A and B are shown apart, each in its own frame.
Chain A
């Protein structure tokens, strides 16, 4: 009898063997393997067996199915996440994936429906389920207060959703903004007064009354009136409101890259200014402020002769 080469054949009909082999391949190629790779490794595997093994692994939640430009990819699934999804069915997994893809901007329930092609009732059930498992959370958007976006539980919502530093729980914090407004103005005003009292040449006076946005930011941070960390951009929006109040003016100068506080080679300088006129003559009379000015004429119900605002003003 001739020597029979005993091929150490893996028992290909054993499904678990196939699955294990595929899993090993996945671990070898963490980016994912294509059908081609599996075929190269186990040429004798028939397509149906391969498909069965892959499906089994997918249903067990140990493989991730992805699609790329050249075809289907199979990737090893993270053990932790695999444990999370235990007990969930495919639909939930699909929804979870869609939400995960939305990152920290969150996704609206209608958009989930479009992406997953599931009916609305199903979506709602799944969302409730996932929420109770503490896998996702709903965040109210500041733009439209009735709209809820869903994102993964442990993600920080993006600024555009929560509104940034000025909103706490979807409420615009006007008092906080007011306080910051006044503090910035006081800082700039005292700087301007110091400069004026220094009695130096006018150019030096004016230059020393300027404060860069960085200086103001540092002052506000050191004051410690803000619970939230404010960035320099936030401070600049506050300073802009002071400009619109007519109390502050701004110039931009070119600054060397690398100087503290410069952005793109520019620095913004702010300084407190005085108003250019006193309150004008018209508003010193009751007519200038009268809410029924347009209804007033001689001989009517409201007329200068019987105007109660004038009477009060005259007796003041």
Chain B
């Protein structure tokens, strides 16, 4: 039976169908599972990868099943689950069979796919809050959950490491940056864990409503925002400065590290862990995308106006809203940055131009207060997704196919002859292009019969483009592309593994020689152990890996746009 289920999942995987039909699990496709596996392997190792992918494919399972089906020892499975829970990739709850059954673990691929976006989060926090912010976010992303005191101390130590001799970073500086991150909701408290036995209806954090103990546990884990203390910073006593780590042998480092862990200073915030609020970052990215689109289409000033409007509605608009709350022109005028000295009538003109633009970034919601304006976020996302689809068709098939694609997007349904006439492309070539697009599933054919027997000579065949399904298909292609890039990167590293190890050894030797004060001749002798062609190969390898890395980030931008569009459409419909 074990083999049978595996075989079935492989077949379904090849067809690109969702592997799990368990309704409590979000449907995930084979491409997503493959990408999650690669990401887990890179960041946490192969054991966690095995456990993680098994959970992804199989839905909610208890510990015994996992051990039995993956064949990994109990110890390792426990550790892997700890890692996954720590990073929020796995949630656990009581079994479905009733109160006494063992806990079940469940993974969702969304959280794991966020790993791809870590560089973007770190970069954003760097631009907004400087190096301190960058390191705070980096630490939290690497550790998953951490207390505030722990984060502050570690970040202070790291910053001190990079400063000049004799200077160190004060804890209060790091704390203040931490406060600011929490204030703007980029960080949030981890939700308190659900109690193990929901029999006790007085358990405060249990998701099941009290008074109905027989109700099955609700399938969705509570969101962090459902807890009122989500963004409240605890009172913490943190006094001190960062400690510089002395350069020492590896063994001594480990001992020092162990000692730090057993450092029993308490700061008053035990048990309150913090995590990065991905949704807030995503809102920020979405706003950035809209602003840059306005800047591209119109001009800098218009994009500044839209940026002001979005900043004003940061806290008043819910994340899933299709448009911001209406803002009056007077408010906008008052909130514009002072460097933009636009007189009031000119601002009105810019707003009118924004409304008239066919992309409909901004809409008018009323006349009071000098005109009430909203930013149409759903419409903007839809337009950006559409531009993405058009860009893909253009780069892949040429500008004439892109012309046909745009024509079909505009006119919805067209016959073959009409396509040729509107696009002004000769009949033979137009036919060829349409069939290519059809075979790639970017364009669909709609049959409208004149007679009930669907005879081909008496049926209208209309070409059409459906934006949402096409966007979903492209998203799966993006996942596959990223997985391909990651695999290629791992392959390239594996090929040159010997060379990489050799260069690492030589660097270690060099570092130790320098530390113990060796003569220059010895250093050059060691450096020459790497031959010139090997150096070239190393450089080429570095270039390749950098290129693949940056390509992954670029594809992730496309993934973000398409995902935002799909989620926004799903929540509005």
A285-B554 in contact given A276-B296, A277-B296 (Cβ < 8 Å): yes
Is B395 within 8 A of A287, CB to CB? no
- How far is the CB of A254 from the nearest CB of chain B, in Å? 15
Q: Judge if A166 is at the interface, Cβ distance under 8 Å.
A: yes
A287 to B410 CA separation, bound complex (whole angstroms): 28
Q: Judge if A30 is at the interface, Cβ distance under 8 Å.
A: no
Is B423 within 8 A of A241, CB to CB? yes
A279 to B394 CA separation, bound complex (whole angstroms): 9
A275 to B319 CA separation, bound complex (whole angstroms): 27
The 6 A-B pairs of least Cβ separation, nearest first, read: A281-B554, A283-B395, A287-B481, A304-B484, A305-B491, A172-B426
Q: Judge if A220 is at the interface, Cβ distance under 8 Å.
A: no
A289-B402 in contact given A202-B346, A249-B358, A281-B556 (Cβ < 8 Å): no
Contact with B along A286-316 (1 / 0, CB 8 A): 0111000100101000011101001001110
Q: Judge if B485 is at the interface, Cβ distance under 8 Å.
A: yes
Contact with B along A240-262 (1 / 0, CB 8 A): 11001110010100000000000
Q: 15 interchain pairs (CB within 8 A)?
A: A172-B426, A196-B299, A202-B346, A277-B292, A280-B557, A281-B556, A281-B558, A282-B388, A285-B485, A287-B477, A288-B477, A288-B555, A304-B487, A305-B487, A314-B548
Q: Judge if A177 is at the interface, Cβ distance under 8 Å.
A: yes
Return chain B residues, CB-CB under 8 Å to A201.
346, 349
Q: Judge if A238 is at the interface, Cβ distance under 8 Å.
A: yes
Is A296 within 8 A of B555, CB to CB? no
Residue with the greatest number of chain B CB neighbours at <10 A, chosen from A240, A281, A282: A282
Return chain A residues, CB-CB under 8 Å to B547.
313-314
- How far is the CB of A305 from the nearest CB of chain B, in Å? 4
Return chain B residues, CB-CB under 8 Å to A313.
547
Contact with A along B45-83 (1 / 0, CB 8 A): 000000000000000000000000000000000000000
Q: Which of A226-243 contact B (CB under 8 A)?
A: 237-238, 240-241
A249 to B394 CA separation, bound complex (whole angstroms): 19
Which of A202, A249, A274 interacts with B296 by CB under 8 Å?
A274
- The total of Cβ contacts below 8 Å across the A-B interface reads 141
Which of A166, A244, A285, A289 interacts with B555 by CB under 8 Å?
A285
Which of B292, B399, B402, B481 interacts with A285 by CB under 8 Å?
B481
Is B399 within 8 A of A245, CB to CB? yes
Residues on B lying within 8 angstroms of A by beta carbon are 292-293, 296-297, 299, 301, 346, 349-350, 352-353, 356, 358-359, 383-384, 387-388, 390-392, 394-396, 399, 402-404, 406-407, 410, 422-427, 474, 477-478, 480-481, 483-485, 487-488, 491, 540, 543-544, 547-548, 551, 553-558, 561
CB closest residue in chain B, given A282: B558
Is B403 within 8 A of A244, CB to CB? yes
A244-B391 in contact given A285-B485, A293-B477 (Cβ < 8 Å): no
Return chain A residues, CB-CB under 8 Å to B359.
276
Is A240 within 8 A of B544, CB to CB? no
Is B488 within 8 A of A307, CB to CB? yes
Is B485 within 8 A of A289, CB to CB? no
A201 to B540 CA separation, bound complex (whole angstroms): 52
Q: A241-B403, A277-B292 are in contact. List 8 more A-B contacts (CB 8 A).
A: A206-B353, A238-B424, A276-B384, A277-B384, A277-B388, A283-B392, A285-B551, A304-B484
Secondary structure at chain A's binding surface: helix, strand, loop or mixed? helix
Q: Judge if A203 is at the interface, Cβ distance under 8 Å.
A: yes
Is A166 within 8 A of B384, CB to CB? no
Q: Judge if A273 is at the interface, Cβ distance under 8 Å.
A: yes
Which of B352, B383, B423, B483 interacts with A203 by CB under 8 Å?
B352
Please give the number of chain A residues whose Cβ is less than 8 angstroms from any Cβ of chain B in the complex: 46
- How far is the CB of A291 from the nearest CB of chain B, in Å? 9
- How far is the CB of B500 from the nearest CB of chain A, in Å? 17
A284 to B543 CA separation, bound complex (whole angstroms): 16
A283 to B358 CA separation, bound complex (whole angstroms): 26
- How far is the CB of A107 from the nearest CB of chain B, in Å? 22
Which of A206, A280, A298, A303 interacts with B391 by CB under 8 Å?
A280
Is A276 within 8 A of B387, CB to CB? yes
A27 to B427 CA separation, bound complex (whole angstroms): 54
Q: Judge if A174 is at the interface, Cβ distance under 8 Å.
A: yes
Which of A245, A296, A304 interacts with B491 by CB under 8 Å?
A304
A282-B484 in contact given A201-B346, A245-B403, A276-B387 (Cβ < 8 Å): no
Is A177 within 8 A of B424, CB to CB? yes
CB closest residue in chain B, given A177: B424
Is B480 within 8 A of A283, CB to CB? no
A304 to B491 CA separation, bound complex (whole angstroms): 9
Return chain A residues, CB-CB under 8 Å to B402.
245-246
Return chain A residues, CB-CB under 8 Å to B296.
274-278
